[in-house]
């Protein structure tokens, strides 16, 4: 039962939404089936649905249907209906979060019922709201609203040239801005996964935007700068231009777009860091601090575990230990409840690793659940570093071997993830061999081998923990 689609999806509801869903199911407008209400009430006692406490299907049936003889199909039917109610609930939640969509749908229904006075009054109110916005979604709603007004004018026997013109103008903005967003997203994906997608339409989009007077739209201009940032060898001036533009025009850019645009900027810094441009560490750290100050890393009152982890990693690499500890302790509550413990334990382990408190780091890593590829890769990665720095060469060899098998056999890894981790292991094992030789004075040529290895690491364009490897190989030469 706990592996059913219903329970798996209900598990993902935060506590506040679970309470709202109970009220939704209890409403006779949305649900007239008593057994479905019974099931929801019973499930309340087991939320958030742990396997050890969840009842088997016969006990669950008895709690829902009382003294009726057990009939499995009846239980399946009521669970299926509750799942359908969950889908309806999610639609209502969407409308609650997007009131302009709710207003548009109510206008369509009012028009269908010939509620002329209500339609005209509420149309004016929605138009007034949309006139203050310039995000992509608002142009889509404006287009649909203008079409409704064209239909309304036709019913009233009026000529609706203005509404036709407005509908076309909104459609142009919606199409071009959306197209620019998605083509930019595709180009960004290509830099990560090398999809082989041929980008031939950027020039055509820019030309059409110029013809229609959309080229100076803040959203279009910002994404155009991101496009330049995604070219093969972008100049640092392009990055600075983008950051300056985003900060100067912050009030004119929708928050959803700002989040995505700053993500592109952060990804650019990360690529530069991975390519060996270490000065971008400080730039990215300052950018994160600015985004924290402006609350631009928060979506629906939550910060993603990946933003949290990236900030901690940067702070530690820059030696900002006090700031990082304060950040972790005070911002952990902003993490989604389902990810909070895991993300905090992993980042605390990383914190102790940087303080060279390896025992504490290993203890915390034992508490990290491998809920994603990130934790599967990076927990092993951190352990390899610990074993190296603690000169635990046998443990290092064993983990390196199992890690290589993991990289070969695990599905879902990108080619880049697989390659950069394999190269890290290869260089680390060579480094460990040189360190072992120096530790036990096994080879007088070990220093020369270290110099040679340093040159190979420096020449490598994409390598996990490249700076750490260089630091370690330099220590061997001192």
What whole-number distance in Å separates Cα of residue 464 and Cα of residue 468? 9
What whole-number distance in Å separates Cα of residue 149 and Cα of residue 355? 65
**DSSP string across 344-394:** HHHHHHHHHHHTT-HHHHHHHHHT----SHHHHHHHHHHHHHHHHHTT-HH
Would you state the pLDDT for residue 411? 87
Would you state the pLDDT for residue 81? 97
Query: Which residue carries 């206008």 as its tokens?
Result: 107
Average pLDDT over residues 95-114: 95
> pTM of the entire structure?
0.78
pLDDT band at residue 236 under the 50/70/90 scheme? confident
The tokens describing 438, both together, are 């120096």
The answer, yes or no, to whether residue 317 has pLDDT greater than 80, is yes
Strand residues in 263-307 grouped as ranges (E)? 298-299, 302-303
Would you state the pLDDT for residue 50? 81
Would you state the pLDDT for residue 397? 96
Pick the closest to residue 271 from 237, 232, 228, 308 (CA basis). 232
Average pLDDT over residues 119-124: 95
Query: Which residues does residue 302 pair with via DSSP β-bridges, in sequence order?
Result: 299
Q: pLDDT tens across 420-458, in order?
A: 999 999 999 999 999 988 877 666 678 888 889 999 998
From residue 264, alpha-carbon distances to 230, 246, 271, 317, 416 in Å are 9, 12, 11, 21, 18
Question: Where would I find the H helices in 68-98?
Answer: 72-97
Q: Which residue has the higher pLDDT, 415 or 111?
A: 111
The answer, yes or no, to whether residue 128 has pLDDT greater than 70, is yes
Would you state the pLDDT for residue 42? 93
Q: pLDDT tens across 355-408, in order?
A: 999 999 999 999 999 989 999 999 999 999 999 999 999 999 999 999 999 999
The answer, yes or no, to whether residue 203 has pLDDT greater than 90, is no
What whole-number distance in Å separates Cα of residue 126 and Cα of residue 104? 8
**How high does pLDDT run on average in the chain?**
91
Q: pLDDT tens across 151-169, in order?
A: 999 998 887 799 999 999 9
Q: Which residue has the higher pLDDT, 284 or 415?
A: 284
- Percentages helix, strand, coil for the chain (3-state, rounded to 5) are 75, 0, 25
pLDDT band at residue 306 under the 50/70/90 scheme? very high
Would you state the pLDDT for residue 273? 84
Query: Which residue carries 């950069």 as its tokens?
Result: 420
Pick the closest to residue 233 from 182, 199, 272, 285 (CA basis). 272
Name the least confident of 31-35, 79-83, 333-337, 464-468. Answer: 464-468
The answer, yes or no, to whether residue 200 has pLDDT greater than 80, is no
What whole-number distance in Å separates Cα of residue 166 and Cα of residue 146? 7
What whole-number distance in Å separates Cα of residue 460 and Cα of residue 478? 23
Pick the closest to residue 180 from 238, 147, 228, 234 (CA basis). 228
Would you state the pLDDT for residue 450? 87
Average pLDDT over residues 86-106: 95
């Amino acid at each position: 039962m706990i592996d059913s689609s219903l329970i798996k999806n209900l598990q993902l509801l935060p506590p506040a939404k679970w309470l709202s869903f109970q009220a939704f199911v209890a409403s006779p407008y949305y649900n007239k089936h008593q057994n479905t209400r019974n099931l929801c009430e019973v499930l309340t006692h087991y939320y958030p649905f742990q396997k050890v406490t969840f009842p088997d299907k016969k006990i669950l049936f008895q709690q829902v249907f009382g003294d009726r003889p057990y009939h499995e199909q009846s239980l399946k039917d009521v669970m299926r209906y509750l799942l359908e109610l969950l889908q309806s609930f999610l639609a209502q939640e969407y409308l609650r979060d997007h009131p302009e969509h709710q207003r548009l749908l109510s206008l369509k229904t009012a028009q269908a019922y010939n509620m002329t006075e209500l339609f005209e009054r509420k149309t004016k109110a929605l138009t007034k709201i949309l006139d203050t916005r310039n995000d992509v979604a608002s142009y889509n709603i404006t287009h649909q609203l203008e079409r409704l007004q064209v239909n309304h004018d036709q019913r009233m026997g009026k000529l609706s040239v203005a509404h036709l013109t407005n509908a076309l103008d909104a459609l142009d903005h919606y199409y071009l801005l959306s197209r620019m967003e998605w083509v930019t997203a595709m180009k960004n994906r290509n830099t990560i996964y090398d999809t082989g997608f041929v980008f031939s339409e950027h020039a055509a989009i820019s030309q059409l935007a110029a013809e229609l007077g959309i080229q100076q739209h803040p959203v279009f201009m910002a994404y155009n700068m991101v496009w330049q940032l995604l070219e093969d060898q972008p100049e640092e001036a392009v990055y600075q231009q983008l950051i300056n533009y985003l900060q100067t025009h912050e009030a004119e850019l929708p928050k959803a777009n700002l989040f995505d645009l700053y993500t592109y900027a952060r990804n650019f810094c990360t690529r530069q860091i991975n390519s060996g441009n270490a000065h971008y560490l400080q730039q990215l750290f300052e950018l994160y601090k600015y985004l924290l100050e402006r609350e631009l890393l928060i979506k629906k009152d939550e910060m993603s575990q990946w933003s949290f982890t990236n900030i901690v990693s940067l702070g530690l690499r820059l030696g900002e230990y006090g700031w990082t500890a304060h950040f972790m302790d005070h911002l952990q509550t902003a993490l989604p409840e389902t990810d909070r413990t895991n993300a905090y334990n992993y980042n605390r382990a990383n914190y102790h690793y940087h303080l060279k408190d390896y025992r504490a780091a290993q203890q915390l890593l034992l508490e990290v659940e491998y809920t994603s590829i990130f934790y599967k890769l990076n927990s092993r990665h951190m352990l390899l570093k610990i074993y190296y720095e603690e000169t635990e060469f046998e443990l290092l060899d064993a983990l390196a071997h199992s890690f290589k098998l993991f990289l070969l056999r695990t599905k879902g890894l990108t080619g880049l993830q697989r390659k950069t981790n394999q190269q890290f292991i290869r260089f680390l094992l060579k480094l460990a061999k040189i360190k072992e030789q120096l530790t036990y004075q096994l080879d007088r040529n070990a220093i020369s081998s270290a110099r040679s290895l340093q040159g190979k690491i420096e020449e490598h364009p994409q390598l996990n923990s490249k700076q750490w490897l260089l630091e370690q190989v330099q220590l061997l030469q001192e």
